[in-house]
A and B are shown apart, each in its own frame.
Chain A
């Protein structure tokens, strides 16, 4: 009989055997004839596709359309003599982003790990090498530096005042109004009509406004649908089911045409405002269902434990149920935010010159006839960048909120 001696029970995990590249390929790619065949076919198709794309991008593509219209892509018809205000807005956002990064990472040993350094290096290289940014790269590089400096400062401040998180959130909230002021003017700045808001700035502005508005609304609808009061429950359910049954395009047109009908004659709310409201009302219905899924995933015992301690319903909801429900629903909620961001492209249908709309109008210019592939590829990269950033952020938040281990 063999027995296991304590010595052989090492508490360290077994070492993973490192495979050489040849052995790795043999194990994972060519383990039998069928896998080998699949590997060859897939590598062939991928390689051919990438080769075609790269050779097109380097030889056939005429990228001149991007740098020539870079200002349009970013800000639409925003007056170019007021670009300084957009730069100021970018600086505010970069500073706040760096600050938040530093405050959140105040307990991490180093802010600038290898992967972060590689990422920053890639961004800098992109700014320097990418043709359209070249005239403004002198301003973009300092922005990257600003993020880094703010991060270091944020870490110092965060270590000294652990309660600073609330103030950073407040600063983000206030930055929204600063953005509104910098873009729209007023209060000492030259006003810019919303007809001149456009491009990426308009896309980001409508997306952020939509997200900020639809979140509380979705939360209330989700709670309403689970309310003990039949009237509240019925109204929430009817709203959610009605909105989910209508396509967003129809909703946007209704927003443009019907919102003015409900308002006193003569008061015509701004086109962008109407679009943002329609977008938020639409997304709120979907968000409500995501939040409701989260609420249903919180075990009944949590509510019972809170109530048995004498907590009243609002406190139970705010301190026990919602924090857990929202944590569960983060992936779905962020998914909804990402699709809201992409849905802003539909605003071009109702005549707003957001990023895609600007792209279309540039393509309508005879000088850039037929430059579809270049323009749409460029736009796709921009959309991908922001959506990927959101999903990366959601993963970080999930990690941070994980209390299981």
Chain B
């Protein structure tokens, strides 16, 4: 019993090879607001890291610095061994290796589902069209939208759109996937189909950083859970400890509000 309690969690072993190393990242918005106040975090290959925290805590902003969608003013971020700099080529090289799924899906509404998924492989990876389409169809089958391939995003439900968005990111064969509240804009009955796809992705060994409020998902899939609040990283813990026996009072208070 006790054995299974402590050993139960992750379906896959995590390595000690870091994929993302953030050191003392500080960021101010243009209006002077200090949103990140020296956050350090390391994401290891193959692990699933869940970032929680109240709104305005800087968690979305933090993971958006990993693929340089948000610039930061102090500290350093290393992705797959490349340090993010202001150089455009450097930023594009990092973005090729980092997939991102957004709260609002952000599918391209003027392109079909298949074109959405093949766009980046064709234009960035320079794959021939046939190869890109073959890979895209495999991915669409994996996320369960194969029969919608030739529809436009506007014709799909929110859950289906988010699954297409996941397939679109996977098509670039990224080393790490960032999820920015992927289920927050969905109707309740569609949350599950998206989480199921994310579970499958975690099982396959993908390195994932998820900003989410889904406690069930965090408990079941995460290797580590961190809490951010007010621009600080408050607590970093295993999911069991985080949810049942948190170290920090702030975590306890946060959990009492969402559970």
Contact = CB atoms under 8 A, between A and B. Distances in A.
A304 B96 CA distance: 13
Contacts of A307: 69, 95
A309 to B, nearest CB: 4
Contacts of A405: 154-155
Contacts of B120: 309-311
B95 A304 contact: no
Contacts of A327: 110
Interface string B79-101: 00000000010001001101110
Interface stretch (A233-241, A317-325, A373-381): A317-325
A2 interface: no
Interface in B71-124: 88, 92, 95-96, 98-100, 102, 104, 106-110, 119-120, 123-124
A302 interface: yes
A399 interface: no
A403 B123 contact: no
User: Majority SS of interface residues in chain A?
Assistant: helix
B225 to A, nearest CB: 24
Residue with the highest number of chain B CB atoms closer than 10 Å, among A299, A302, A305: A305
A366 to B, nearest CB: 60
Contacts of A404: 109, 152, 154-155
Contact of A304 (B69, B107, B119, B153): B69
B172 A310 contact: yes
Interface in A320-337: 320, 323-324, 327
A88 B123 CA distance: 43
A308 B99 contact: yes
A105 to B, nearest CB: 20
B240 interface: no
Contacts of A324: 108-110
B169 interface: yes
B124 A309 contact: yes
Nearest to A401: B110
Interface residues of B, number: 28
A305 B106 contact: yes
Interface in B156-187: 165, 168-169, 172
A312 interface: yes
A55 interface: no
B133 interface: no
Given A301-B102, A301-B104, A315-B123, A308 B110 contact: no
A308 B119 contact: no
Contacts of A313: 88
Given A301-B102, A405-B154, A309 B110 contact: no
A324 B107 CA distance: 12
B110 to A, nearest CB: 5
A162 to B, nearest CB: 14
A309 B109 CA distance: 16
B28 to A, nearest CB: 20
Contacts of A305: 100, 102, 106-108, 165
Contact of B108 (A310, A320, A401): A320
A311 B110 contact: no
B102 A319 contact: no
Nearest to B98: A308
Interface string A162-175: 00000000000000
Contacts of B212: none
Interface string B181-215: 00000000000000000000000000000000000
A191 to B, nearest CB: 46
Contacts of A299: 104, 106
A357 B19 CA distance: 73
Nearest to A323: B110
A403 B124 contact: no
B67 interface: yes
Given A309-B120, A310-B124, A404-B154, A302 B108 contact: yes
Interface string A32-44: 0000000000000
Contacts of B119: 309, 311, 319
Contacts of A304: 69, 102, 106
A308 B100 contact: yes
Interface string A281-324: 00000000000000000010110111111111101000110011
B157 to A, nearest CB: 14
B95 A308 contact: yes
A324 B111 CA distance: 10
A9 B124 CA distance: 50
30 contacts: A299-B104, A301-B104, A302-B106, A304-B102, A305-B102, A305-B106, A305-B165, A307-B69, A308-B67, A308-B95, A308-B99, A308-B100, A309-B119, A309-B124, A309-B172, A310-B92, A310-B95, A310-B120, A311-B120, A315-B123, A315-B124, A319-B123, A324-B109, A324-B110, A403-B152, A403-B153, A403-B154, A403-B155, A404-B109, A405-B155
Interface of B: 67, 69, 88, 92, 95-96, 98-100, 102, 104, 106-110, 119-120, 123-124, 152-155, 165, 168-169, 172
Interface of A: 299, 301-302, 304-313, 315, 319-320, 323-324, 327, 401, 403-405
The 10 closest A-B pairs by CB, nearest first: A305-B106, A309-B120, A403-B152, A310-B96, A301-B106, A308-B100, A310-B95, A404-B154, A310-B124, A323-B110
Given A305-B100, A311-B120, 14 more contacts: A299-B106, A301-B102, A304-B102, A305-B107, A305-B108, A308-B99, A309-B124, A309-B172, A310-B95, A312-B88, A315-B123, A323-B110, A327-B110, A403-B154
